[in-house]
C-alpha cells in the first residue's frame, strides 16, 4: 500500500478532530478537563503526522533520484531534513511555553526563524534547479513563496524578535 498526500491529508484532518472529540467526551464524563493533557496529546499527534509526511517526502525523493542533479538532490535532502527538524520542534516549544508560568517567546521565535529560513533556502534551491533544467512549471509561484519566506526571516532578525 502506497501512502499519498490525499491519504495524509485525511489523517491530518481526522486524527486531531477524533482525538479532541474523544478527549472531550471522556473528560466531560469524568467532570474534569485538563488543557495541558490535551495540548500534549495534540502536540505528539502532530509530531507523528509530521513524521509520516517526512516519510512520504523521502519516498518521493527516492522516486526522483534518477531524474535530478545530484547536487540539487543532496541540498534538497539536507534542507528538507533541517525544515523537518524545525517542523517537529515548533509544536513542542509552543506547548511548553504556553503551559509555563513565565512564558518566554525567544525559543519560539528562534524555531520560527529556523523554519522560515530553511524552507526559504529549500525553495530557493528548487527554484535554481528549475532555472538550470529549464522547467517552467510553478516557477513563478515558487519564486514568490521563496521571497515571502526569506523576507519573513529577515523581518524576524531585523525587528529583534529573537
Q: Identify whether residues 161 and 114 lie together within a single domain.
A: yes
Hunting for cell 526563524 — which residue is that? 113
Structural domain for 51, as ranges: 1-65
Q: Identify whether residues 23 and 84 lie together within a single domain.
A: no
Q: Identify whether residues 120 and 75 lie together within a single domain.
A: yes
Q: Which of 114, 73, 106, 108 is nearest to 91 (CA)?
A: 108
Structural domain count, the chain: 2
Domain boundary among 65, 83, 110: 65
Contacts 24+ apart (CB under 8 A), 147-150: 149/116, 149/117, 149/119, 149/120, 149/123, 150/116, 150/117, 150/120, 150/121, 150/124
pLDDT, tens digit only, all 162 positions of the chain: 566 656 666 666 676 667 677 777 766 676 666 666 666 666 666 666 666 666 766 666 666 666 777 888 888 888 888 888 888 787 777 777 777 777 777 878 888 888 889 989 999 998 998 888 888 888 888 899 899 989 988 888 888 766
Amino acid at each position: 500500500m502506497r501512502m499519498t498526500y490525499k491519504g495524509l491529508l485525511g489523517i491530518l484532518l481526522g486524527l486531531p478532530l477524533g482525538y479532541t472529540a474523544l478527549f472531550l467526551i471522556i473528560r466531560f464524563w469524568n467532570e474534569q478537563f485538563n488543557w495541558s493533557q490535551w495540548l500534549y496529546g495534540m502536540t505528539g499527534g502532530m509530531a507523528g503526522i509530521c513524521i509520516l509526511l517526512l516519510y512520504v517526502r523521502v519516498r518521493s525523493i527516492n522516486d526522483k533520484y534518477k531524474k535530478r542533479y545530484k547536487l540539487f538532490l543532496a541540498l534538497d535532502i539536507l534542507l528538507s531534513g533541517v525544515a523537518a527538524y524545525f517542523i517537529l520542534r515548533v509544536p513542542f516549544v509552543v506547548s511548553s511555553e504556553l503551559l509555563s508560568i513565565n512564558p518566554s517567546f525567544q525559543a519560539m521565535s528562534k524555531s520560527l526563524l529556523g523554519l522560515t529560513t530553511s524552507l526559504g533556502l529549500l525553495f530557493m534551491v528548487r527554484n535554481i534547479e528549475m532555472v538550470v533544467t529549464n522547467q517552467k512549471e510553478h516557477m513563478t509561484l515558487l519564486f514568490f513563496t521563496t521571497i515571502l519566506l526569506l523576507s519573513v526571516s529577515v523581518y524576524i532578525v531585523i525587528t529583534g524578535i529573537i
